[in-house]
Every structure is written in C-alpha cells, then in structure tokens.
Amino acid sequence: MLQLTTLVNKKGDLRKVDWKKFFIDVMRSSLFLTANLLLFQYFLCRIRHLLGFFTLPTMGGVSSALASLCAILIEKQSRRPALALYTTNLASETFYRQLCNHGYLFSMKYGECVPFAVGIGIFMFLRAQGRLQPGMNKLLDFTHCASPNKDILEVKKMPVDFHTMLLKLRHGYEKTSRCEHNYSCASVAVESFAKNFAVGLGASAALTILGNLRKLFTNPSMLAKMLLTRNTLKLPLFFGLIPFLFHVTRCQLNRVDGCSPGVRDTVAGAVSAASMAAYPSVSIAMYTMWKGIEAVYWNLVEAGVVPVVPYGDIILYTLSTGYLLFQSVIEPQSIRKGYLSFLKQMTGGRVNLFNRDLYEHFGFQSKLLYPNYQPVLNPKYVTLNPMLYQKIMPPS
C-alpha cells in the first residue's frame, strides 16, 4: 500500500504506473521481510548449535544483526534509507522504554512533545537559513501555514456573514513592521487554526468511517455516534494548534528587539510542538526528530564538515533492526505494541513461543508478557536439561 501511494504521488496518475515493475518491487519487499525473520530464527538456532552454549549477545543480538544484514541486501537500493530511518526511529524509542523499565530514566506525561519540538525546531532553523529541502518547505507551508504572501482563507468562497467577520479580523487589529504576513497577527493565527482544524476534522472523520465500515454496514445509524466523540476531535485540535501556536509565538517574538529571524522561527516552531498534547503520537514525534537529524547531517555533508558514510543505510538498518529483533526475544515489553503485533503477524504468532525460561535470570523480565507460556520440549533435540531452569511442577 505504501509503495502504491508513493508511485501515485510520483506519477500523479494510476495509468502512468508501470504495474509490472510495481509487482516485482512488491514481491522483492515481501521476500526481504520474510528473509529477515527466517534468517533471524535460523542464525539463532545455528549459533547455539555451533557454540554448544549461549551468552547474552548470542541470545538474539548476533543472529538478528546477521539476518538484518543479509535481508537488507535483497531490498531495492532506493528504499534502504527510508527503511533505515524507520527502524532507527523504532530502535531509539525501544531503547528509551528499556531504560525506563530498568529505572535509569522516567516516563514523562506528554513526553512526545519533546522529540517533536526538537524536530520542528531543526526544520524551522534550516528554513530560516535557506538550507531546507523544497519538499520539506512545502510540508511546513501546509502544516504551519508559514507562506507569508499567500492568503490562508479565500474570502470569495465564504458566506457574507463570515466574509464581514474575516475582513474585520484582518484589518481591525495590528501587526508589527517585522511581521511578514499580509494581515493582522490575530488574523493569521485564527485563520490558520480554522483551516487546519477543518482539514484535520475531515481526515479524522474519514479514518473513523474507514475503521468502522463493518459496523456501519450492519447499523448505519451509528455514524453520528461515532463521529460525535471526543476522540474524533483530537486530530483536528492537534492539527489546528500547530499553526496557531507557531504564529502567536512568532508574532510575540517580533515585538522583542534584537530577536533574529532564525531564533524567532526556531523558538516558534519548537513551541508549536506543544500541540501534540492534544493528540499524543510517539510515531509522529520520533519520525519528525529523526527526519530533522537527517536534514542536519546532509547539510553538514554539503558543507564538507562531515563525510558521507559508505553503506551508511545498510549499517544503520543492520544495527537498529538487529537491536529490535533482539529485544523481541529478551524484553518484548519494551517494543512499541504496533511493531510487536507486526512481528507476530509476520511469524504467525511464533515470536511468542520462545523458551524465555532460559532468559529470566538475566534480569530482563522476558516472560512479563507471556507469564504462563511454557514450551513442551522434546528431549531428543534439547542440549540443556529443562529441569535445571524450569520450576518443578507439584504432583496433581
């Protein structure tokens, strides 16, 4: 589905899509995913047989890294950087959760706002310097309504009453000489909120309907009840608050003497991340942060400050995916639920069936999600007496 969406965005028309190439790419990606998980399980068992014993690294770390290295070589070269960024995103989140589980860090309420603020702050800083990629510039124009010479709302498409109110909002309030927008500061903040809120509301309603199609077919009268909920308003509120907080902060900083455009936009962008309190999303926050770090890296490469790391995408994918698969064995509770569910689907539920009794004494609480599972082992194939680590069952 992701590949189809990407193709349509590039081509602009389904009729221009090379379907033969598309299906080959889909099969290649499917083979890549299958190989990654199959090789992980193969290397896990093979290394254990070769050594005759296991240690903490060989419980999944070495095998998962080897499997990821072999698998990523199958995938199309142009897709490797995106995959590396995605798995690095997941791995960093998993590492944070693991540190929290062991008491080295603590969980923060609305902590998603922090990486989101870092990412948007980076983008706004690079934008102010004129060093941001055109595609990301367009995205910020859309999310933050940051294009200075463009009207946010079109007056002609509005009813007369709204038309009058909008004109009063635009011309009845002031703006500073440093402000780049056409109308008043109050106008740009309110208009951007209204526009994004409407877009977010439409998207939220569409997602709600698509996620409940089966229920709606059997009982169409439930539609109003589904749409008129607090959860439906979370996404539009988040999307509306992004430009509202951005413009309010930027216009206030324009009134401060000595505040440079770079500082102004960076701070305003970081403050706009507080909007995520309305719609907490670790996925969006972490992706934004890592995308910002990637943008900084490529800017430093262009400036000749740092070199391009040969096969950097392969190395990054190998290390991050290796770490994720390792954690799926020894500490699955630290992995994002969505990704753990994906691993379960890809393995037919067999990621739950590891003999985690062997790992309990390492201190990872490996059986926390599966406390009652105990595999039935065939003595013909085991190399370690299960009585040495399994609890003695009381007589029935």
Q: How many Cα atoms within 13 Å fall on the side-chain side of residue 176?
A: 12
Residues across the chain: 396
Q: Are 274 and 348 within one domain?
A: no
The DSSP letter of residue 370 is: -
Could you tell me if 88 and 315 are in contact, meaning their C-beta atoms sit under 8 angstroms apart? no
Q: Are 322 and 361 within one domain?
A: yes
Residue 139: count other Cβ atoms within 10 Å of its Cβ.
14
Which uninterrupted H or E stretch holds 31? helix 19-51
In a domain, 377, yes or no: yes
Q: Are 163 and 98 within one domain?
A: no
* pLDDT value for 348: 83
pTM of the shown model: 0.84
* pLDDT value for 8: 47
Among candidates 207, 217, 275, which has minimal Cα distance to 246? Answer: 275
Q: Are 120 and 198 within one domain?
A: yes
Q: Are 316 and 208 within one domain?
A: no
Tokens 């028309």 correspond to 13
Quote the number of domains for the chain.
2
* pLDDT value for 279: 93
Q: What is the pLDDT of the chain when averaged over all its residues?
A: 86
Render pLDDT for 282-319 as a digit per residue (tens, 0 to 9). Answer: 989 999 999 999 999 999 999 999 999 999 999 999 99
- Measured in whole angstroms, how far is the alpha carbon of residue 316 from the centre of its chain? 17
In a domain, 245, yes or no: yes
Phi, psi torsion values for 141, nearest 5 degrees: -60, -35
Q: Are 271 and 315 within one domain?
A: no
In a domain, 67, yes or no: yes
Q: Are 176 and 259 within one domain?
A: yes
CA pair distance 218, 7, nearest whole angstrom: 35
* pLDDT value for 4: 46
Domain boundary pick from 230, 263, 279 = 279
Q: Encode the chain (396 residues) as per-residue pLDDT tens digits.
A: 445 445 444 545 556 666 777 788 888 888 999 999 899 989 988 888 888 777 888 888 999 999 999 999 999 898 899 999 999 999 999 999 999 998 898 888 899 999 999 999 999 999 999 899 888 999 999 999 888 777 787 777 677 777 788 888 888 888 888 888 888 889 999 989 999 999 999 999 888 888 888 877 877 777 777 787 888 899 999 999 999 999 999 999 998 888 888 999 999 999 999 999 999 999 899 999 999 999 999 999 999 999 999 999 999 999 999 999 999 989 999 999 989 998 888 888 888 888 888 788 788 888 889 888 888 777 777 766 565 556 655 554
Q: Are 214 and 352 within one domain?
A: no
Among candidates 217, 227, 145, 224, which has minimal Cα distance to 187? Answer: 145
Residue 186 amino acid letter: A
Segments forming the whole domain that contains residue 142: 113-279
In a domain, 7, yes or no: no
In a domain, 294, yes or no: no
- What tokens were used for 184? 């008043």
* pLDDT value for 393: 52
Q: Are 132 and 100 within one domain?
A: no
Q: Are 75 and 209 within one domain?
A: no
Among candidates 252, 302, 315, 246, which has minimal Cα distance to 274? Answer: 246
In a domain, 8, yes or no: no
Render pLDDT for 227-267 as a digit per residue (tens, 0 to 9). Answer: 878 888 999 999 999 999 999 999 999 988 888 889 999 99
Q: Are 208 and 273 within one domain?
A: yes
| Helices assigned H by DSSP within 54-156 | 61-72, 80-101, 113-128, 134-144
Could you tell me if 121 and 288 are in contact, meaning their C-beta atoms sit under 8 angstroms apart? no
Could you tell me if 331 and 365 are in contact, meaning their C-beta atoms sit under 8 angstroms apart? yes
Q: Are 102 and 127 within one domain?
A: no
Domain boundary pick from 234, 260, 279 = 279
